[in-house]
Amino acid sequence: MNLDTVLRRFPLRATLNDESRVVIRPLAPDDKAELRNFSLRVPEEDRYYLNNNVTAPDIIREFTDGIDMERVVPLVAEHDGRIIADSTLHRSRRTGRRHIGELRIVVDPDFRGKGLGSRLTHELIELGRSLELRRLVFEFTRKRAQSDVVRMEDHNYLMEQCTVGQMREAMHQMGESLVKAGLLDDATDALHISLDELKRVAEGNGPENLRSLTQERKANRTRLLKLTPPSTLGKPTAPSTVDSNVLDLDPTVPTLRGKTASRGRATGKARVLRADAAPPRLHEGDILVTTNVGPDWTPFFPLLAGIVLDSGEIFQHPALVAREYRIPAVFQTRVGTSRIREGQVITVDGDAGIVELGIEGEG
């Protein structure tokens, strides 16, 4: 079926989920101003994933004046004279890809969740069928997913090194200056001084005797690190006859309970890593026991027979990689690093979400 015949059924009138009435029709050359107004209402984070700067007048003019319907079929949705959605069906001219169409849809934020995107998707799919396309790809979704994967992999750097990491470096430099001034013994002691206090120190009216202040706070931190926090705060939501914390801390109970992060069962020697410690020398078949791990641990995973974490979530990086390598893993044991000894032979039962404590080795 040729394109002119396909487009004869437009304009179409449709009713959305909230009873709003819209008109769906092909984009026209005189839509320039309204198309730009619509593009400006689209959130910047959504425009980021589009191929062109859709708010630039020259790009809009070039597109609307030079529409090649054999390559791109643009449909817009209109409400009370305003364009509230823009959608396109792209057809490739390349040999071997002429049977493939790409769908792109952008909806005004005020009209999302009302069924408009679904209706435009349906119309584009019907267009594709009429034009004998055999495969349709949601280009906008694919591009967004590709970009989000990169940002997901870099999130530790963006969220930590570009924020707290830079702040820590600045505080350390301040600490070096305070050591040179004879006010501190070690540059890292500045990390025990608040930002407000450091600002006042820089202005010349900070706390007196910084040395004794930091020593007091370091001693308090050491004391707090020895505490085991309760599993809940406040009144329990439901009465329980068994305190799981007591069972997990009881040395006579031979198992720890957690959540399954990766299925399977493995036995090996435990390598217990405390928080902020450097990676130990690992041997093939070791079981890593620590508080939590990040993407930087990925190179060590092929050596591991199992993983036990005090915390962690099943959607985090270590859980995903453990499942890829088929390494049994149990997370959220809470007290794994406290109950398990270095070199102890343990069994990670990822199917049951438990850790069986065995014989202690020499480490």
Q: Determine the pLDDT at residue 254.
A: 87
| Amino acid identity for residue 352 in this structure | A
CB 336 within 8 A of CB 289: yes
Written in H, E and C, the secondary structure of 218-254 is: HHHHHHHHCCCCCCCCCCCCCCCCCCHHHHHHCCCCC
- Residue 239: the pLDDT is 53
- Confidence at residue 91, expressed as pLDDT on a 0 to 100 scale: 83
Low-confidence ranges of the chain (pLDDT < 50): 240-247, 361-363
For residue 310, give its domain range: 252-357
Which residues are CB-contacts of 150 (< 8 A; sequence separation ≥ 6)? none
Q: State the pLDDT at residue 281.
A: 80
* 104, 167: one domain: no
Domain C-terminal end among 164, 196, 216? 216
Predicted pLDDT of residue 206:
86
Residues 100 and 144 in one domain: yes
CATH number, position 301: 3.50.30.10
Question: Which of 113, 131, 148 represents a domain boundary (last residue)?
Answer: 148
Q: Which of 123, 148, 173 is a domain's end point?
A: 148
Do 15 and 137 belong together in one domain? yes
pLDDT of residue 153: 64
Whether residues 130 and 66 fall in one domain: yes
Q: Specify whether 185 is located in the same domain as 318.
A: no
Contact 34, 55 (CB under 8 A): no
User: At 32, which CATH number?
Assistant: 3.40.630.30
Task: Check residue 362 and give its pLDDT.
Answer: 44
pLDDT value, residue 45: 74
Do 266 and 315 belong together in one domain? yes
Is 247 inside a domain boundary?
Answer: no
Is residue 180 domain-resident? yes
Domain count, the chain: 3
> What's the pLDDT score for residue 236?
66
